[in-house]
Chain A
Amino acid sequence: MSELQKPKAKPLALRLLAIAVVMFGFGFLLVPLYDIFCAITGLRAPIEQVAETDIANSDIAAREVTIEMVANRNNSAPWEFRPSESIKLVDTGSIYEITYFARNLIDEDLTATAAPDIRPVEAAKYFKKIECFCFVAQEFGPEESKDMLVRFMVSKDLPKHIDRITLSYTLYATPKVAGNN
């Protein structure tokens, strides 16, 4: 009797194989899922267009927050890279501009890409980047230097216990250059 309820071997095996294939795909699906997770928590917040009106309309009173800028190089690439100022006091709900200074230290063309990070993690989704040089390939001639702009605003909704936000940029040389080193 129970014999009749048993699944047939071949279709069952194929169904199980399908599970394996789907799970292989799921491994890759974790990449966008992680990005969504990061966007929700703000870990990798995309650059947002913040309309001036949104800012004015908020009822919450503005307060002062310390923004701390940090610069890192990856793989000891031949750069000078630093924020133009390392500490900035800002009011929530207002737009500010800061620059990072980068200089090619060698006598060759270099390309660099910068990746941002923010701590504490909880603050990330309240740190709105309006303009940012991150993830855009930056071309540098021999010993050329540039000031690279970040326009940002700290949302008035920033939780009360956060009074300091650290903004970090890491400058990566493009793989070709890194390989030459």
Chain B
Amino acid sequence: MSEAVSHDSHHDDHGPAKGITRWLFTTNHKDIGTLYLIFSLIMFFTGGAMALIIRAELFQPGLQFVDPHFFNQLTTMHALLMVFGAVMPAFVGLANWLLPMMIGAPDMALPRMNNWSFWILPFAFTMLISTLFMQGGGPAGGWTLYPPLVLQTGDAFPFMVFAIHLMGISSIMGSINVIVTILNMRAPGMTLLKMPLFVWTWLITAYLLLAVMPVLAGAVTMLLTDKYFGTGFFLGAAGGDPVLFQHIFWFFGHPEVYIMILPAFGIVSQIIPTFARKPLFGYEAMVYATATIAFLSFIVWAHHMFTSGMPIAGQMFFMFATMLIAIPTAVKVFNWTATMWRGEMTFETPMLFAVAFVILFTIGGFSGLMLAIVPADYQYHDTYFVVAHFHYVLVPGAVFSIMAATYYWLPKWTGKMYNETLGKTHFWLSTIGVNVLFFPQHFLGLAGMPRRIPDYAIQFADFNMVSSIGAFIFGFSQLFFVWVIVDCVRNGKQATSQVWEGAEGLEWTLPSPAPYHSFETAPEIK
């Protein structure tokens, strides 16, 4: 074991400190994981509240609640909060909680950096959200930050850029920690190909983060210098090109979408075998498929910009490369199905979310394949079809997987069982809500409704109304989620260490709740 770790575990072996200092100065992976998850939940509700204002405005044509400029700020801020504040920190929180327990380590490899990487986030997001109250309002050019529009942002601009820098630093530190933990701290006998799939997907995700978050930081730095220091990276007058920004942004942006879905693949690959009481089908194929997807994610970025006027050869290359991604993704979906096949399934809440994930994520995958077809993409591009597509992969995709993970490991974290009836109610309301919310948006896009508009022509009225109803069902049913967690902590029955009958993996050999330091002595792996 490394010096750094033994050093720290020596200091902390008395258990948690008292009061607020426990959370401020903690270097414990479970405390930090909890902080990440709570932070992510707060951001999920903040971003969700913005989404509900957006859907309320779009409930019917005509402008009822917000002015168009504020509407643009809401769509921009909703995306930034959900991507960088809700989904990514939630996965980092899960990694913190679970990786040491899954690989038989006492803690993360770099605990002090771990503390730092979390505590940057509240500052970053306070700064970002505060821009809404500045002269000229918050950023309103979309989360894609395309110049020249984003350069029209008022006083908020440098604050937004620095907030993104801070988020990037946090993610980079988090991913370094994940990689070092996985490569350095596995229990004896746990070879790479014995690691649980969640560990594998996070290892690959961490490398993706390491490769692309700095590129985003570079892109926003160039925006900053273009606006204030007279450079002309993206300004036509100085020989720059606004389309160059799109290339750099999506070089980050496409791997970023896999950063938000690969850990989800890992979670689902843990949950389905447990409740099918059957080993994961094609473990190695899953690992290779994940690696393939990660590799391909670096060579498909320009499929986000087919309408920007690319050379024909470029359009063809990015179309073919994008279609290729369908293959490893299909392999994953088939493997999950094969895992369920001839299993002995029960449907507790985590399994329900995992099954819904497989089905609804696949729908998002299909629309993704459609978007790869360039001639058709000219019609889909920047319409609600795209909105429906990425929300299908991100909400019933990434977010559902996070919820599944929460239900699945909550008894291990808290030592108590959640209320199954409440959990199932939450599941069914969410699943119905999310489909009523996003499915009609496919139709809106095909019929011709562009995205990011505060008001629309009357032929789009009916599906927008349905979508908004779905949004409110989905949004308010998330209160159940909080209720389940609070109820579990307060009134839950004592959970066994095994928790789930079919659960396998090192984390289930620890008592529930898991001890403050996961594995003081490394477990033996058969």
Contact = CB atoms under 8 A, between A and B. Distances in A.
A and B touch in the complex (CB under 8 A): yes
Interface of A: 1-3, 6-10, 12-13, 16-17, 19-28, 30-31, 34, 38, 41, 43-44, 74, 113, 115, 119, 121-122, 135, 170, 172, 174-175
A30 B189 CA distance: 42
B110, B213, B214, B251: most-surrounded residue (chain A CB, <10 A)? B214
B421 interface: no
A121 B309 contact: yes
A13 B188 contact: no
A9 B9 CA distance: 15
Interface stretch (B27-35, B123-131, B178-186, B355-363): B178-186
A16 B241 contact: no
Contacts of A121: 309-312
A48 to B, nearest CB: 16
A30 B2 contact: no
B5 interface: yes
B248 interface: yes
Contacts of B188: 1-3
Contact of B214 (A20, A31, A170, A174): A20
Contacts of B221: 27
A175 B214 CA distance: 30
Contacts of B309: 119, 121
Given A23-B214, A27-B219, A74 B2 contact: no
B180 A12 contact: yes
Q: Which one of A30, A44, A119 has the highest number of Cβ atoms from chain B below 10 Å of its Cβ?
A: A30
A50 B272 CA distance: 67
20 contacts: A1-B188, A2-B188, A9-B5, A12-B183, A20-B213, A23-B210, A23-B213, A24-B215, A26-B214, A26-B218, A27-B222, A28-B222, A30-B215, A30-B244, A31-B222, A34-B241, A119-B309, A172-B236, A174-B237, A175-B237
Contact of B244 (A13, A23, A34): A34
Contacts of B233: 31
Contact of A31 (B186, B189, B244): B244
B24 interface: no
Interface of chain A, main secondary structure: helix
Contact of A172 (B214, B237, B310, B312): B237
Contacts of B156: none
Contacts of A8: 2, 184
Contacts of A43: 311
Given A9-B180, A16-B180, A23 B212 contact: yes
A16 B218 contact: no
A53 B490 CA distance: 89
A2 B177 CA distance: 21
Nearest to A34: B244
Contacts of B247: 30, 34
B168 to A, nearest CB: 9
A9 B214 CA distance: 22
Contact of A16 (B179, B213, B239, B251): B179
Contacts of B176: 13, 16-17, 20
Nearest to A31: B233
Interface string B22-51: 000000000000000000000000000000
Nearest to B248: A30
Contacts of A38: 241
Contacts of A122: 311-312
A115 B180 contact: no
Contact of A26 (B189, B215, B222): B215
Interface of B: 2-5, 109-110, 113, 172, 175-177, 179-180, 183-184, 186, 188-189, 191, 210-219, 221-222, 230, 233, 236-239, 241, 244, 247-248, 251-252, 309-312
Closest 6 pairs between A and B when the two form their complex, measured CB to CB: A27-B218, A172-B237, A24-B214, A9-B2, A23-B214, A27-B215
B214 A10 contact: no
Contacts of B311: 41, 43, 121-122
B214 A21 contact: yes
A50 B28 CA distance: 68
Nearest to A28: B218
Contacts of A74: 236-237
Q: Which of B4, B177, B218 has the most CB of A within 10 A?
A: B218
Given A121-B309, A122-B312, A6 B211 contact: no
Contacts of B312: 121-122
Given A9-B110, A172-B236, A27 B217 contact: yes
A146 B214 CA distance: 46
B184 A135 contact: no
Nearest to A112: B237
Given A26-B215, A30-B247, A13 B210 contact: no
Contacts of B3: 9-10
A19 B180 CA distance: 13
| Most chain B Cβ neighbours within 10 Å, of A26, A31, A119 | A31
Contacts of A16: 175-176, 179-180, 210
A10 B113 CA distance: 12
Nearest to A174: B237
Nearest to A114: B237
Contacts of B215: 23-24, 26-27, 30
B183 A6 contact: yes
Nearest to B237: A172
B127 to A, nearest CB: 21
Contact of B184 (A9, A113, A170): A9
Contacts of B212: 23
Contact of B110 (A7, A13, A28, A30): A13
A7 B210 contact: no
A158 to B, nearest CB: 15
Contact of A10 (B4, B218, B237, B252): B4
B184 A7 contact: yes
Nearest to B312: A122
A135 B239 CA distance: 7
A119 to B, nearest CB: 8
Residue of A12, A20, A25 with most partner-chain B CB within 10 A: A20
A34 to B, nearest CB: 5
A24 B177 CA distance: 19
A158 B389 CA distance: 41
Contacts of A7: 183-184
